Amino acid sequence: MSAPGLVLGVVGLGSMGYGAAVSAMKRGVATWGLDMTEAARTRFAAAGGQLAESLADLASRCDVVQVLVVNAAQTEAVLFGANGEKGLDTLLRRGAVVIASATVDPALPPLWESRLAQHGIHLIDGPVSGGAKKAADGQMTVMASGKPEAFAVAGAALDAIAGKVYRLGDHAGVGSTVKMVNQHLAGVHIATACEAMALGIRAGADPKQLYEVICNSAGMSWMFQNRVPHILDGDYTPLSSVNIFVKDLGIVLDAARKLAFPLPLAAAAHQLYLATAAAGHGNEDDAAVVKFYAELAGLELPAKT
């Protein structure tokens, strides 16, 4: 796959942004990266990536910019500037496209779309899913919505960073709504997987055998299959942290509150992530929810191998 003439910029070279940028490069898209941290810049440069010196430098080179930062506040700072610095709204040329990929309140992307349109810039509301491995393999999922003109410019870039691109509507907000539902399920499934493993260990089951059986039984979920190995290995290096789900399930619950819609399972899971973070595990892998149960019941979890 190649996109002659198209230049992509990626702001935020964390696990997902790095994977997106490297995947685009491998598929023939000229790609520039930008990140505040030296480690992220060094890693991208080592992979052959081109580093922009500033947001203005990146914007001057790119037709499409994917913003893959942590949250809405960081996204808004990149889009519209902060602390006296200019944002993409005034730095990009007219007709350029921004892909906003952080998980945010679905009410925000339509506001961003309107503000960027005043400068002749298109927005694709394009949150992503799949984790660091799928991002690195170019196989993550993009849940995208935006005007047809935006997809006409950025379609090749989206195809270069993802395995699946879902076009979900012709205005911003739909993509973030679908991502919100995904995060509701993902957050509940991880918390449930940790609870189930803790229950099995407490009852005397061998955790490795328990994992193998459940993965071949009706109780299996993708999150169980993906996260429980972190518990079995005793390795809580954060691929996605507990604090991420404190944030994301908070978004889910806030949106549901505005809709006067009850979410008792999401609320219970959110409390588990909050409790785990309060116990000092917020920056560990989200599978560390099992540690909350272990500390509560005095369980001995598998040690790091």
Query: Which residue in 26, 133, 164, 179 is the catalytic one?
Result: 179
Rounded alpha-carbon distances, angstroms, from residue 204 to 16, 278, 284, 290: 38, 28, 26, 16
Identify whether 179 is a catalytic site residue.
Answer: yes
Instruction: Catalogue the active-site residues.
Output: 179
